[in-house]
Copies of this chain bind each other. A is one copy, B any other.
Amino acid sequence: MRTLSAFISSSTSFGHCFFHRLTLRHSHKTLTSSLAPCFRRHFTPTMAAPEDSLRKALADKQSEVENQGDQVRSLKASKAAKSEIDAAIEALNALKLQKASIEKDLQATLSSADGSVNREAFRQAVSNTLERRLFYIKSFNIYGGVAGLYDYGPPGCAVKSNVLAFWRQHFVLEENMLEVDCPCVTPEVVLKASGHVEKFTDLMVKDEKTGTCYRADHLLKDFCNDKLQKDLNIAAEKAKELKHVLAMLDDFSAEELGAKIKEYGIVSPDTKNPLSDPYPFNLMFQTSIGPSGLIPGYLRPETAQGIFVNFKDLYYYNGNKLPFAAAQIGQAFRNEISPRQGLLRVREFTLAEIEHFVDPEDKSHPKFSEVAELEFLMFPRELQMSGESAKAIQLDEAVAKGIVNNQTLGYFIGRVYLFLTRLGIDKKRLRFRQHLANEMAHYAADCWDAEIESSYGWIECVGIADRSAYDLRAHTEKSGEALVAHEKFPEPREVEVLVISPVKKEIGLAFKGSQKNVVEALESMKEKEAFALKADLESKGEVDFYVCTLGKNVSIKKNMVKISKEKKKEHQRVFTPSVIEPSFGIGRIIYCLYEHSYYTRASKAGNEQLNVFAFPSIVAPIKCTVFPLVQNQKYEDIAKDISKSLTVAGISHKIDITGM
C-alpha cells in the first residue's frame, strides 16, 4: 500500500456529492466545495519549490540553447572555420542534452507530486476486481447505462446491508435514537424553507452549438491541471498563476469563472465549439406530485429535512425532554451536471443522518468520558492555516482546549472514529478536518469532516456539524409552527425583560410606506443597542438609525419609541434547540473501505496475482464457507445441517460439497 503515500498531495475533492450538501448548509455562497482549496493551500508550498526552480532552469536552458543556435547560424553565415563551427555545434548539442535532462527531472517531479500514475493504476485494479466480482454494476447497462447511476451487485449489497446494520447498532441502539423513515418525494415548500430551491446549484456552461453541458469549474480545473502537468515550457510565473486559479476555483463567482474561461480560450472539450457564459443549474431532480401538475416536488437531496419537520412530534415522543437524537437512513438524489469520480460522485446514494437536538446553553454529554481518551489524527483550522499537517490529538484535550467547540460535538467525533475504524478503515488514513471559518455559515458553531484517504485523495465521508438553531428556525419561520423546546422552572422566576414600544402613529406620519421596516428594525434591537439609542435620544432628541431592510439611515425622534425594562414572572424558558448533525455518505465509506481492504498476493502456485479484499467479519459479505474435508455422503449431510444452523442464526455463508 506504499503507493498511497503519494496521494496526500492530490486535489480531487471538487464539489463531491456528499460534501456539497454540507457546504450548502454551511454557507450562503455558491454551492461548490470549498474544501479542496484549503488543503491545496496547505500542500502547495512544499511542492512548489523544486518544480519552480526546475521550470526556471528549463526556461534558462532554453534561452541558452536559442543563443547557442543563433551563434552556430551566424558562424555558418560568416563562413567561419569548420573547427570553430563544429565546436559551437558540439556546445549546442551539450546544451540540448542538459535541457532534456531538466525536462526529465521536471516531468518526474510533476508526476511524483501528482502521484496520478500510481494512484490511477491502483484504483483501476480495485475497480476491476469490484466490477468483475459484481460488487458494483453500471445501472441499466444493457441500454448503455446512465452516468452516475450504479447498482450494488450481490456482494456489494451484502456489504452495504452489513454497514447499515452496524450503523444502526452503533448509533441508533447505543444512543436510543429515534429512527424515522421519510419519503424521497418532497414538496417544494420544504426545500424552499431549507434553502435548496434557491441555492443548491452548480455553475454550468453549454456547448453553444451542440448544447452539451459541462461543469464550468471542471473545465477550468482540467485546463489548469493539463497545462501544469503536460506543458513543461510554461514559465514558473504562469505555473504559479494556474495554481492560484486552482486554489481559488471554488470561490469564483459565475462572472469570474466566465472571465477565466474566456481569458484562457477554453472551448467545448469534445467539439472545440465556443461555450456559453456559466450559469447556475439546480441539482435537485424535479417532479410533480399528483395529476394536476400544480404541486412541484423534488427528490430529496438529503434526509435531514424529514427529521426537522417532525421535530415537534419527536420531542413529544421523547417526553418533551432534551437532549435526544433522531436518525434516518435513506436514498438521496443529486442531478449532477456531468458525474465523474466513478463511485464517489453519483446521482443517487444512501445517506445515514443523525440530528442530535440539544439545549444551546448546555452542550455537555453524559457519555463523553467513554470516548475522552481516544487519540487520532485531527486537523484543526489553525494547523491548516499555518501549513502544518494533521496530528494525533487526544479528544478530551481537543475539547478542553476549545479546538472542538463542545463536548457533544466531541462525543460524536469520537463515536464516528470508532464506527469507521471498527468497519475496517485504516486509522492512519483517517483524519478529522475542521472547517475553516470561511467554509462555515455564520450560524454554525463548529464543523468537522471525517476524511478518508483514497486514490482520489482525502474524501469527506462524514460531516459532523454543530448547526446551532438554524434549521429549526428556518422551518418555524416558513411553516408558522413553533419548533421549540421548553424548560419548566421548578418555581416561577422574576426576570427583567427589555420592552421596546415603537409609537406607530408618529413613525407612520414620518416614514409612510416604510413604517413597517422601521418598526421591525426598532423592535429587533438587542438590549445594549436599545439603551444606547435611548440615551442618545434623551440627550439629542433625534438620532440617525440604520434600517437594514431599507438599506439606509432614517432619523428617529424621541417621541417615536419607548424603551424600558420591566419585571415579569416566567414559568418556563422557551428556546430553539441547537442541532448537532453527523451525516454519513454510506457509498463513499464503502468505497474507501474497499480500497483500504484491498491487496494482491501471489497464488500458491506462484503463477498469478490474486486480488484480495481483507474485510473485517462485521463487513464481510460472506462470513464463512462450509465444506467437508472428505467426500462422503455422511459428511455432506452434516455440512448441510451446519449450513442450516448458520442460516437460522442469520450468518451468511457458502456451502461447498464438492469435497475439495
Q: Residues on A close to B: CB < 8 A?
A: 134, 137, 139-143, 146-147, 149-154, 156-158, 160-161, 165, 168-169, 173-174, 176, 178-187, 189-190, 204, 211-213, 281, 285-292, 295, 297, 299, 306, 309-310, 312-314, 317, 331, 333, 335-338, 347-348, 475, 478-479, 481, 483, 647, 650, 652, 654
Q: Using known A-B contacts A151-B182, A337-B291, determine if residue A650 contacts B158 with beta carbons closer than 8 Å.
A: no
CB atoms of B142 and A156 under 8 A apart:
no
Q: Which residue of B lies closest to A481 (CB)?
A: B142
Collect the chain B residues with CB atoms within 8 Å of residue A147's CB.
Answer: 290
CB atoms of A137 and B292 under 8 A apart:
no
Query: Can you list 5 A-B contacts (CB < 8 A)?
Result: A147-B290, A151-B182, A152-B181, A154-B317, A291-B338
CB atoms of B157 and A313 under 8 A apart:
no
CB atoms of B173 and A310 under 8 A apart:
no
CB atoms of A180 and B168 under 8 A apart:
no
Give the number of times this chain occurs in the complex, counting copies.
2
Which of B292, B335, B347, B650 is A173 in contact with, Cβ under 8 Å?
A: B650
Nearest CB in chain B: distance from A183 CB, A: 4
Collect the chain B residues with CB atoms within 8 Å of residue A139's CB.
Answer: 182-183, 306
Q: Using known A-B contacts A139-B182, A182-B139, determine if residue A335 contacts B153 with beta carbons closer than 8 Å.
A: no
Q: Using known A-B contacts A174-B647, A347-B185, determine if residue A152 contacts B180 with beta carbons closer than 8 Å.
A: yes
CB atoms of B141 and A157 under 8 A apart:
no
> CA–CA, A335 to B289, complex, Å?
7
CB atoms of A186 and B140 under 8 A apart:
yes
Collect the chain B residues with CB atoms within 8 Å of residue A150's CB.
Answer: 183
Q: Using known A-B contacts A142-B312, A179-B158, A647-B173, determine if residue A331 contacts B289 with beta carbons closer than 8 Å.
A: no
Q: Which 10 A-B pairs have the closest CB atoms?
A: A152-B181, A142-B479, A142-B481, A154-B178, A213-B291, A157-B179, A183-B348, A151-B182, A285-B287, A149-B183
CB atoms of A211 and B292 under 8 A apart:
yes
Q: Which residue of B lies closest to A170 (CB)?
A: B647
Q: Using known A-B contacts A152-B181, A158-B179, A181-B152, determine if residue A187 contacts B143 with beta carbons closer than 8 Å.
A: yes
Q: Using known A-B contacts A213-B291, A310-B137, determine if residue A149 contacts B185 with beta carbons closer than 8 Å.
A: yes
Nearest CB in chain B: distance from A653 CB, A: 9
Given contacts A137-B310, A139-B182, A154-B179, 13 further A-B contacts (CB under 8 A): A137-B180, A142-B479, A146-B185, A174-B647, A184-B184, A184-B299, A184-B333, A185-B299, A211-B292, A286-B288, A291-B337, A291-B338, A331-B331
Which of B141, B169, B185, B337 is A348 in contact with, Cβ under 8 Å?
A: B185
Nearest CB in chain B: distance from A658 CB, A: 12
Collect the chain B residues with CB atoms within 8 Å of residue A187's CB.
Answer: 140, 143, 146
> CA–CA, A134 to B324, complex, Å?
16
CB atoms of B287 and A173 under 8 A apart:
no
